[in-house]
Amino acid sequence: MELLDGKATAQGIKDELKLAVDTRSAQNKKIPHLAAILVGNDGGSMTYVNAKVKACDLIGFNSSLIKYNNTVSEEELLAKVIALNNDDEIDGFIVQLPLPEHIDELKITMAIDPVKDVDGFHPENLGKMMLNLPAFLPATPAGILELMKRNKIETSGKDCVIIGRSNIVGMPLSIMLAKNTEIGNCTVTLTHSRTKNLKEKVAAADIIIAAIGSPGFVTEDMVKEGAVIIDVGTTRVADSSKKNGWALKGDVDFANVAHKCSYITPVPGGVGPMTIASLMINTLRSMEIQGK
């Protein structure tokens, strides 16, 4: 078994990006500027957004963190999105999801200018991705593909089972892995809460991607010897041995499953850092495509 070390792989990408920023800086060119909107005080969202801002600092990007409390109106949030669209200093921005129930996520997502949509969630970017046109790819699926590419995981002709059909991960990833691309050509099965015989389907997979947010869902009996496992889950679970009282748990029962795998991502330190690295790649690109 080999660990698919997302932290180390992401560090390699961040080093490359830092070099690109330093070069731009030396040429007196603009430094990329990412803005992040965070609504409320959900622990997971705060952790992610803080990690995104920290990554900007390390690479040398500028960043702005815009916080609202849970009671912010849809109108006020929309006005901020429009303002960021029109702010030439901001190259790309994200609105951290989920949003409170009284706000229509799709309405907010669709208000983002596609050239600044570094999360790749706007229908224009998702549609272009589907048709192989240049587009921002959603950060988590793109990070997973990059992790597999940089660690030389063979995907062509493999049976890949994805657990979870979210708009952010499972759904776009199923399309990306099925494409005729370097990290693609998989035969993808996208499973969900209505899937029949889920265990059998997962147990037959060469590549398993778990993205449902259910700690320890993938157990030893569901994994074929030699399978590759990508664990997208990051649920906070109470853990009195930790200083902050919680630990991040993946969707895979790592302790009992790892020995059967050829490769497996840890949680934390697997997919999470790759998501952030992808966002940074998209931010640099957003500035370039706007001709800045």
Binding site for ligand GUN (CB under 6 A): 94-97, 119, 139-140, 168, 275
Tracing tokens 């950060």 back to the chain, one arrives at 139
Note whether 112 and 120 are within 8 A (CB): no
129 within 8 A of 137, measured Cβ to Cβ = yes
- In this chain, which residue has its C-beta nearest to ligand GUN? 97
Q: Confirm whether 27 is a catalytic residue.
A: no
* Nearest to ligand GUN of 96, 283 (CB atom): 96
Q: Which member of 14, 96, 231, 253 is catalytic?
A: 96
**Minimum separation from the CB atom of position 236 to ligand GUN (A):** 13
- Residue 261 burial (C-beta neighbours within 10 Å; 0-12, 13-18, 19+): buried
Residue of 5, 91, 117, 119 with catalytic role: 119
What gap in Å lies between CA 126 and CA 136, rounded to an integer?
A: 8
Task: Provide CB contacts within 8 A for 189, sequence distance 6+.
Answer: 159, 160, 161, 162, 201, 205
Nearer residue to ligand GUN within complex by CB, 109 or 261: 109
Neighbours of 142 (CB within 10 A): 23
Tell me the backbone φ, ψ of residue 9, rounded to 5 degrees: -65, -40
What is the closest distance, in whole angstroms, from the C-beta atom of residue 47 to ligand GUN in the complex? 11
What does the alpha-carbon distance between residue 57 and residue 248 come to, in Å, rounded to a whole number? 24
Catalytic residue among 5, 14, 52, 251: 52
Q: Work out how close the CB of 202 gets to ligand GUN at its nearest, in angstroms, rounded to a whole number.
A: 23
Query: Does the annotation mark 96 as catalytic?
Result: yes
Q: Which is nearer to ligand GUN, 32 or 92 (CB)?
A: 92
| 119 counts as catalytic | yes
Do β-strands 228-231 and 235-238 pair in parallel, antiparallel, or remain unpaired?
unpaired
Cα gap 128→114, rounded to integer Å = 11
CB of 11 to ligand GUN, least distance (A): 19
Cβ-based nearer residue to ligand GUN, 258 or 274: 274
Q: Tally Cβ neighbours within 10 Å of residue 243.
A: 6
Compare residues 94 and 126 and give the one whose CB is closer to ligand GUN: 94
Catalytic residues: 52, 96, 119
